[in-house]
């Protein structure tokens, strides 16, 4: 049983409204006697934020003798009040509503001052005669509203039931004096009860309340009762606002008084019209529960859109509290998954709480396809604010981000830690954990399909249902190696500060030395790119070269003497005849073909270049290995080098001699440019 049921009973039977007298204690309220204006019940709701559990108790003014009359576990001494008139009631699954209602009736009627005028003839008939005694005249007893049940009718076998041999009593109405004296004591005039008040509550609400089914009191039954009542009230509208705030754990219609229910349906009516106003948090949760159960929505996408409107038009307007937003985002994602809404459609409405972390993991997992800014932002997501404020970005932010991003790209491609790539070593593998969608919402799951399915929100967040049981695949922070990741980021920051000569230099740590080669490689690649950018671009026009050649030939012809010109004249070539030759040419008249000889001396077999090649011994070894058709990967790994850096160094060293790049790098493998293979064989014939 709930306290709200007692409040609803007092409202319906005695027209006693629950009053909240302490703004700082919204869980405390009182019920007053409508005649004496005195408290008959103190209602107390407590919520423990640490454990997430709540409790409800009540102090009721029904007399301490009730503890002796009724031996039930939910009755005890009062919790807050003092005196023999008060008892305490604990509300829970074992609290009997009928017992509580009878005790409340006793509490209300115990405050009534009953007075009777007894006729002396009746006393004489019974043998009792009082001489010289004037009996007081009681004030008029007000009439109860229709529908009131007398104590005798409620307890036909109780002590107030009239005995058969008891003389009849006549109640004589008394005048309405301003003041009545009884035994020398001044008594204030009693406030008369009002006459019957017309029923102000719509019949639809009363019909809805009758749909509630008592049972085991389980949470599943509570959800079923809510769905049954919500479907019945789906199109109901009202206009009776309730402006007081109140808090309930997993609120349903059954937990609210009739006035609070009317206030909720009034607020819901306005929300459906696009009018968002501050309301009790219980109202917001009730509305969200309705949406999750398909109440008042035309489609699943329409449900997500309505929930998104609560976030944008209600919460973003400053109404509600942060816990509503947190639950709302979780429920929107859960709803999209269990309903199988397409991820691209769901993400138009849903912003998961894990979105920043998932996006950062996706970037770091595949850095080759990401921009420098995206990679640097992902590094900062897990490394913290210190990395975002690194002095490396002060002089040139774009350059600093590129250096950090390039270091991670090189490390992600070529670093192995404990037999794993760097990403797996830092963030573990995708693991599946039990997942309970909408577990903290009043939800029936009446439309949920039990077929096995996979829902891929993104490569870092996968949901599976097998045999009706859900699991969630994710990179869980429990398995993150944060120390390894921060070691990489710190060493990269330290190296780049020294390379750019900026900020305060960080102290070198021996445990971070494993990350140094990647920061050094990024810095070296940046240095080479800067050096190339410093060389001015030279544009050669081929048409201009042809013009220069023509001008040079004209100048030469003008400078030649007659003798030099005659020597250079060649005999004109005899044109070939189209037809057969009819006239024989004497053999002795055909000049002999001159013998052409190469005036260049032949190169000896042990030829070596006059100057040594501008290569190191390791670079020569790599080139000879490639010329022999082998692979240089083993040599590069043995010396802890980066393939791309080695290729750039060799090409730069041989640029003046060859005039072009001779080595290409594809992934981790080096290869020679076929056009320069023979030249390399000739150059490497001797020692480097």
Tell me, what's the pLDDT at 103? 92
574: Cβ contacts below 8 Å, ≥ 6 apart: none
Range scoring the smallest mean pLDDT among 185-194, 237-246, 542-551:
185-194
Comparing CA positions, the residue from 313, 227, 315, 331 lying closest to residue 270 is 313
Tell me, what's the pLDDT at 489? 95
CATH 1.10.3470 describes domain 617-683: no
Range scoring the smallest mean pLDDT among 162-176, 338-352, 439-453, 524-538:
162-176
% of the chain exceeding 90 in pLDDT: 41
Question: Contacts for 208-211 with beta carbons within 8 Å, 24 or more apart?
Answer: 208/232, 208/233, 208/253, 209/8, 209/253, 209/254
Tell me, what's the pLDDT at 542? 59
Please name the CATH architecture into which domain 3-110 falls.
Alpha-Beta Complex (3.90)
Report DSSP letters for 542-590, one per residue.
Answer: HHHHHHHHHHHHHHHHHH--HHHHHHH--PPPPPPPSS---SPPPGGGS
226: Cβ contacts below 8 Å, ≥ 6 apart: 252, 253, 254, 289, 293, 442, 444
What's the N-to-C CA distance of the chain in angstroms? 95
Comparison of pLDDT for 248 and 48, the residue scoring more: 248
Comparison of pLDDT for 678 and 471, the residue scoring more: 471
Tell me, what's the pLDDT at 360? 94
CA dihedral 374, 377, 378, 381 (to 10 degrees): -160
Examine the pLDDT at 556 and tell me if it is beyond 50. Answer: yes
CB 528 within 8 A of CB 653: no
Comparing CA positions, the residue from 41, 17, 195 lying closest to residue 104 is 41
Q: Which residues of 667-684 are buried (b: 16+ CB within 10 A; e: fewer)?
A: eeebeeeeebeeebeebb
Strand, coil or helix: 322: helix
Tell me, what's the pLDDT at 48? 63
Tell me, what's the pLDDT at 50? 60
Comparison of pLDDT for 47 and 534, the residue scoring more: 534
Tell me, what's the pLDDT at 537? 62
Tell me, what's the pLDDT at 168? 44
Model confidence pLDDT, tens digit, residues 289-311: 999 999 999 999 999 999 999 99
Tell me, what's the pLDDT at 673? 84
Examine the pLDDT at 557 and tell me if it is beyond 80. Answer: no
Comparing CA positions, the residue from 389, 427, 394 lying closest to residue 408 is 427
Q: How confident is the model at residue 572 (pLDDT cuts 50, 70, 90)?
A: low
* Average pLDDT of span 218-240: 93
Residue found by looking up tokens 């790098």 in the block: 665
- Residue 213 and residue 221: Cα distance in Å, rounded? 8
Rg (CA), the chain: 48
Range scoring the smallest mean pLDDT among 183-192, 298-307, 335-344, 568-577:
183-192
* Average pLDDT of span 62-68: 87
Tell me, what's the pLDDT at 246? 83
Give the domain ranges of the chain.
Answer: 3-110, 206-346, 367-429+475-532, 617-683
Pairing mode of beta strands 180-182, 87-91: unpaired
Range scoring the smallest mean pLDDT among 330-339, 524-533, 559-568, 627-636:
559-568
Comparison of pLDDT for 432 and 660, the residue scoring more: 432
CB 279 within 8 A of CB 317: no
Model confidence pLDDT, tens digit, residues 127-183: 444 334 343 444 444 444 444 444 334 333 333 333 334 444 343 343 333 333 333
Comparison of pLDDT for 505 and 13, the residue scoring more: 505
Residue found by looking up tokens 């017309």 in the block: 198
* Average pLDDT of span 186-213: 61
Q: How confident is the model at residue 188 (pLDDT cuts 50, 70, 90)?
A: very low
Examine the pLDDT at 432 and tell me if it is beyond 50. Answer: yes
Tell me, what's the pLDDT at 144? 42
Length of the chain, in residues: 688
Tell me, what's the pLDDT at 599? 41
Tell me, what's the pLDDT at 319? 92
Tell me, what's the pLDDT at 565? 59
- Residue 284 and residue 545: Cα distance in Å, rounded? 81
DSSP state of 587: G
Q: Is 371 left (phi over 0), alpha (psi -120 to 50) or beta?
A: beta
Tell me, what's the pLDDT at 558? 66
- Residue 669 and residue 514: Cα distance in Å, rounded? 22
Rounded to two decimals, what is the model's pTM? 0.52
DSSP state of 312: I
Tell me, what's the pLDDT at 18? 87
Residue found by looking up tokens 């390791």 in the block: 618
Tell me, what's the pLDDT at 4? 86
Q: How confident is the model at residue 562 (pLDDT cuts 50, 70, 90)?
A: low
Tell me, what's the pLDDT at 185? 34
% of the chain exceeding 70 in pLDDT: 74
- Residue 325 and residue 660: Cα distance in Å, rounded? 62
Examine the pLDDT at 397 and tell me if it is beyond 70. Answer: yes
List C-alpha distances in Å: 389 to 379, 393, 507. 12, 8, 18
Tell me, what's the pLDDT at 317? 93
Tell me, what's the pLDDT at 517? 94
Residue 208 has φ and ψ, to the nearest 5°, of: -60, -45
- Residue 359 and residue 419: Cα distance in Å, rounded? 26
């Amino acid at each position: 049983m709930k306290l709200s049921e007692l409040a609803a009973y007092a409202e319906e039977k005695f027209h006693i409204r629950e009053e909240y007298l302490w703004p700082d204690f919204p869980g405390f309220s009182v019920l007053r006697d409508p005649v004496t204006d005195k408290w008959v019940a103190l209602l107390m709701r407590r919520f423990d934020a640490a454990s997430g559990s709540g409790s409800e108790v009540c102090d009721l003014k029904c007399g301490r003798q009730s503890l002796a009359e009724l031996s039930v576990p939910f009755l005890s001494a009062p919790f807050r009040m003092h005196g023999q008139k008060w008892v305490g009631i604990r509300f829970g699954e074992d609290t009997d509503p009928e017992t509580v209602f009878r005790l409340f009736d006793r509490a209300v009627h115990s405050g009534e001052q009953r007075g009777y005028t007894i006729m002396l003839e009746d006393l004489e008939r019974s043998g009792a005669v009082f001489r010289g005694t004037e009996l007081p005249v009681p004030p008029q007893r007000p009439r109860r509203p229709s529908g009131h049940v007398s104590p005798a009718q409620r307890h036909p076998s109780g002590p107030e039931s009239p005995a058969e041999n008891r003389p009849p009593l006549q109640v004589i109405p008394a005048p309405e004096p301003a003041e009545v004296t009884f035994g020398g004591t001044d008594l204030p005039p009693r406030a008369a009860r009002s006459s019957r008040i017309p029923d102000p509550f719509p019949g639809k609400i009363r019909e809805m309340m009758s749909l509630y089914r008592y049972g085991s009191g389980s949470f599943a039954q509570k959800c079923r009762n809510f769905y049954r009542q919500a479907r019945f009230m789906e199109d109901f509208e009202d206009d009776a606002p309730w402006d007081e705030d109140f808090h309930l754990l997993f609120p349903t219609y059954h937990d609210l008084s009739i006035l609070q229910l009317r206030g909720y349906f009034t607020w819901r009516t306005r929300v459906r019209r696009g009018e968002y106003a501050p309301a009790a948090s219980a109202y917001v949760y009730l509305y969200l529960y309705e949406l999750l159960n398909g109440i008042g929505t035309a489609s699943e996408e329409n449900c997500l859109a309505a929930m998104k409107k609560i976030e944008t038009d209600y919460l973003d307007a400053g109404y509600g509290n942060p816990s509503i937003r947190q639950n709302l985002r979780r429920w929107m994602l859960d709803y999209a998954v269990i309903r199988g809404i397409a991820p691209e459609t769901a993400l138009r409405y849903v912003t998961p709480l894990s979105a920043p972390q998932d996006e950062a993991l996706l970037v770091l997992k595949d850095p080759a396809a990401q921009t420098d800014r995206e990679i640097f932002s992902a590094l900062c997501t897990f490394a913290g604010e210190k990395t975002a404020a690194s002095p490396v970005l002060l002089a040139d932010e774009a350059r600093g981000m590129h250096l950090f991003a390039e270091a991670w790209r090189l490390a992600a491609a070529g670093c192995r830690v404990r037999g794993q790539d760097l990403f797996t070593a830092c963030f573990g593998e995708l693991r599946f954990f039990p997942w309970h969608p909408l577990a903290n919402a009043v939800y029936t799951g009446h439309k949920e399909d039990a077929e096995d399915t996979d829902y891929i929100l993104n490569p870092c967040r996968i949901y599976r249902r097998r045999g009706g049981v859900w699991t969630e695949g994710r990179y869980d922070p429990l398995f993150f190696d944060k120390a390894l990741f921060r070691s990489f980021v710190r060493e990269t920051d330290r190296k780049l500060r020294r390379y750019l000569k900026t900020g305060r230099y960080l102290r070198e740590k021996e445990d971070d030395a494993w990350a140094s080669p990647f920061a050094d490689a990024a810095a070296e690649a940046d240095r080479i790119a800067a050096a190339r950018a410093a060389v001015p671009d030279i544009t050669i026009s081929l048409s201009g070269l042809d013009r220069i050649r023509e001008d040079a030939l004209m100048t030469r012809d003008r400078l030649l003497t007659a003798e030099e010109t005659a020597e250079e004249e060649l005999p004109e070539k005899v044109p070939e005849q189209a037809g057969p030759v009819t006239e024989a040419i004497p053999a002795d008249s055909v000049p002999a073909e001159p013998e052409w000889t190469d005036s260049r001396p032949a190169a000896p077999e042990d030829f070596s270049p006059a100057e040594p090649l501008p290569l190191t011994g390791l670079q020569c070894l790599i080139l000879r290995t490639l010329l022999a058709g082998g692979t240089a990967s083993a040599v590069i790994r043995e010396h802890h080098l980066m393939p791309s850096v080695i290729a750039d160094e060799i090409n730069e060293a041989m640029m003046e001699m060859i005039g072009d790049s001779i080595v290409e790098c594809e992934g981790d493998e080096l290869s020679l440019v076929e056009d320069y293979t023979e030249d390399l064989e000739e150059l490497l014939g001797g020692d480097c």
